[in-house]
Structure 1
Amino acid sequence: MARFIAKRVIATGAVLAAGSLMLTACGSSKIDGNTGAAPDASQTVNTAGPDAALVAMLPADLKAKGTLTVATDSTYAPDEFKDASGAVVGMDVDLGNAILAKLGLKADWQSADFGSIIGGITAKKYDLSLSSFTDTKEREKQIDMVQYFNAGEAIAVLSGNPDKIGGTAADLCGIKVAVQNNTTESAEIAQTINPACLKAGKKIIPGGGDKFDAQTDATTALIAKRDQAMMADSPVIDYAVKQSNGALQKIGSNYNNAPYGIVVPKGSPLAGAIQGALKDLIKDGTYTQILTKWGVASGALTADQIVLNGATS
């Protein structure tokens, strides 16, 4: 998958007011009184204790630190977003907490602009990141990535598809498309879709897409009819459609499937420990439990697919 600055999945926030559906842009996924919960967000998950062999892999400074700083762009439900209380929640959050528990550590989740996270890792501002990053060879030049989940890209439109947009990226020529900045999808528009539109003698996606720093704002723009379509990672699109009270629909099939990677500093022994923890969580059922809780079990990887720096493009 050609995810260059790729990202993840959305936080939507729709409220029914004065007979019209509007999406909030405050970073939470509050929808019509619902806190943006997953299909079963109240479900608890296993809390297995530390694995001594994995703890032994950690450097002394991380053991002494006890709590690691984990960066995430909390506008991308159901992977990572803020609930009604302002707490960062989601699939990545549950998974990150379970991984660190296996290592005898805790997480201090910090919301960050998606485009700044890798720089924050290399600058040692953050210890690691779970934020729906697609693993790419370009990213692997700066940081290490432990693959943990498989996602594709997808397209959403207003319910009923009033503009009769086809279900593929090739059908978006001349269409106003909402997209989050610094994502796979924004790169795809600039590097693949618009050049192909020009080659075919068609209009390009205006402005290279209607770009937003937060995925919540991209979703808001589509529901408000500022845009005609939205591109995002498949879990994000699926979640946005479910949470939109019928305002949105998905068109076409998922495409460009590729693994997400947990981001750690280049050469850090934390990568191997995380890899081992993930395999433990798959074996004891916690991994499947978390993905099922957030309605994204279709993206599960097997233990032998939990690899380090496995990007193919």
Structure 2
Amino acid sequence: MTARLIRRTTATRSRTAVVGALAVAGALLLSGCGDQTKNDKKDSGSAADSAPLADKLPQAIRDAGVIKVGSDIAYAPVEFKDKSGKTVGIDPDLADAMGKQLGVRFEFENGTFDTLLTGLRSKRYDIAMSAMTDTKDRQEGVDSDTGKKVGEGVDFVDYFTAGVSIYTRKGDDQSIKTWDDLCGKKVVVQRGTVSHDLAKEQAEKCPKGETLSIEAFDNDQQAQTRLRAGGADAGSSDFPVAAYAVKTSGGGKDFELVGEQVEAAPYGIAVAKSNTQLRDALKAALDAVIEDGSYGKVIAKWGVEAGAVDEATINGGK
């Protein structure tokens, strides 16, 4: 299954997905390389003594042996729970590889996507890693809906490139190919994502009498359930997530992708602006796993090679 990426004129704001022709064959069905939840105690403590980049971390994190990660763990294949309850996916696998460089364990804590930056600001988490798009609004702490300052912004360490897709019930695409085709219909999305933003922008463009109805949920699985049950005409999410749902839901019988991907943008790990030492340590760790091939293995494992980057970037979002 492939899809060609096109560029919309709207500004990218939130979570987005893989750019280009992305293969979603058997690799998407593989499990992650291990649980990254707090029950997994490996790579902590004395591991920092031998890790090549341990000295780049803030001393408090080195002493703790843990980086606390805020994440919406319901976004397969980026991060999700497998059948045994373990946290798996692209982000946990990359975190595991980075942890070996830094000598610490990345401890994923579940939260709804639209509260992750609040948790980061309150120091509940050290970082947020959850298929989060690096945007200027987030860098500057601006609410994308109101344009108002809502708090201190964050820095991003960008590690992936990505776009957004529309999907429908299989065999019932209702001639939907573009966002304009959603006018007069109902779409389900995850709250606080780029899909949500694009849907709201599209609703403002729809002609009178062809209202676009939007139903937003705390997570993408809830949106999929609503669409599967016939409660909406279409859904929208990051391309790898939509593609994974198409491949796996109902054994591939529930959904189909329609139209083309839009809104290419980087995924970034969010870090408090005051924590530049941690930010720079994460960048160094990402560059190291890209260089040693660990990054490429993770990306290939999940079938998302088209979104790979050659180096980590700080605040590359527009």
TM superposition score category, shorter chain reference: 0.7 to 0.9
* Corresponding residue of 1:56: 55
* Corresponding residue of 1:152: 163
Amino acid at match of 1:203: E
Q: Is the 8 A contact 2:16 2:164 kept in 1?
A: no
C-alpha separation in 1, matches of 2:60 and 2:92: 23
Aligned pair partner of 1:308 in 299, 309, 314:
314
1:262-301 matched pairs, under 5 angstroms: 262-268=269-275, 269-301=277-309
Deviation at 1:107, TM superposition (A): 1.6
* Corresponding residue of 2:217: 212
C-alpha separation in 2, matches of 1:311 and 1:162: 32
C-alpha distance after superposition, 1:133-163 (max 9, x if no partner): 0000011121111110111000001112352
Q: Does 1:2 pair with 2:6?
A: no
Amino acid at match of 1:307: T
C-alpha separation in 2, matches of 1:287 and 1:42: 13
Structure 1 residues 64 and 42, CA gap change in structure 2 (3 angstroms) = closer
* Corresponding residue of 2:75: 76
C-alpha separation in 2, matches of 1:113 and 1:246: 28
C-alpha separation in 1, matches of 2:79 and 2:52: 29
1:169-188 matched pairs, under 5 angstroms: 169-188=179-198
Q: Is the 8 A contact 2:72 2:111 kept in 1?
A: yes
Q: Is the 8 A contact 2:32 2:92 kept in 1?
A: no
C-alpha separation in 2, matches of 1:65 and 1:185: 37
C-alpha distance after superposition, 1:102-123 (max 9, x if no partner): 1111022111111111011111
Q: Is the 8 A contact 1:153 1:255 kept in 2?
A: yes
C-alpha separation in 1, matches of 2:193 and 2:57: 31
Q: Is the 8 A contact 1:8 1:76 kept in 2?
A: no
* Corresponding residue of 1:232: 237
**SS of 1:7 mapped into structure 2:** coil
Deviation at 1:43, TM superposition (A): 6.4
- The TM-score normalised by the length of structure 2 is 0.81
- Structure 1 residue runs without a partner (length 5+): 10-35
Amino acid at match of 1:238: A
Structure 1 residues 59 and 157, CA gap change in structure 2 (3 angstroms) = same
* Corresponding residue of 2:126: 127
Structure 1 residues 37 and 88, CA gap change in structure 2 (3 angstroms) = farther
**SS of 1:71 mapped into structure 2:** strand
Q: Is the 8 A contact 2:160 2:307 kept in 1?
A: yes
C-alpha separation in 1, matches of 2:67 and 2:284: 17
Deviation at 1:211, TM superposition (A): 1.0
Q: Is the 8 A contact 2:33 2:88 kept in 1?
A: no
Q: How many residues align?
A: 275
The percentage of counterpart residues that share the same residue type is 35
* Corresponding residue of 2:104: 105
Q: Is the 8 A contact 1:144 1:267 kept in 2?
A: no
Q: Please tell me the root mean square deviation across aligned C-alpha atoms, in Å.
A: 2.3
* Corresponding residue of 2:146: none
**SS of 2:57 mapped into structure 1:** coil
Amino acid at match of 1:120: G
Q: Does 1:41 pair with 2:31?
A: yes
1:89-104 matched pairs, under 5 angstroms: 89-104=88-103
Structure 1: 4+ residue segments shifted above 4 A? 47-53
* Corresponding residue of 1:33: none
- The TM-score normalised by the length of structure 1 is 0.82
Amino acid at match of 1:178: V
C-alpha separation in 2, matches of 1:259 and 1:310: 7
Deviation at 1:210, TM superposition (A): 1.3
* Corresponding residue of 2:144: none
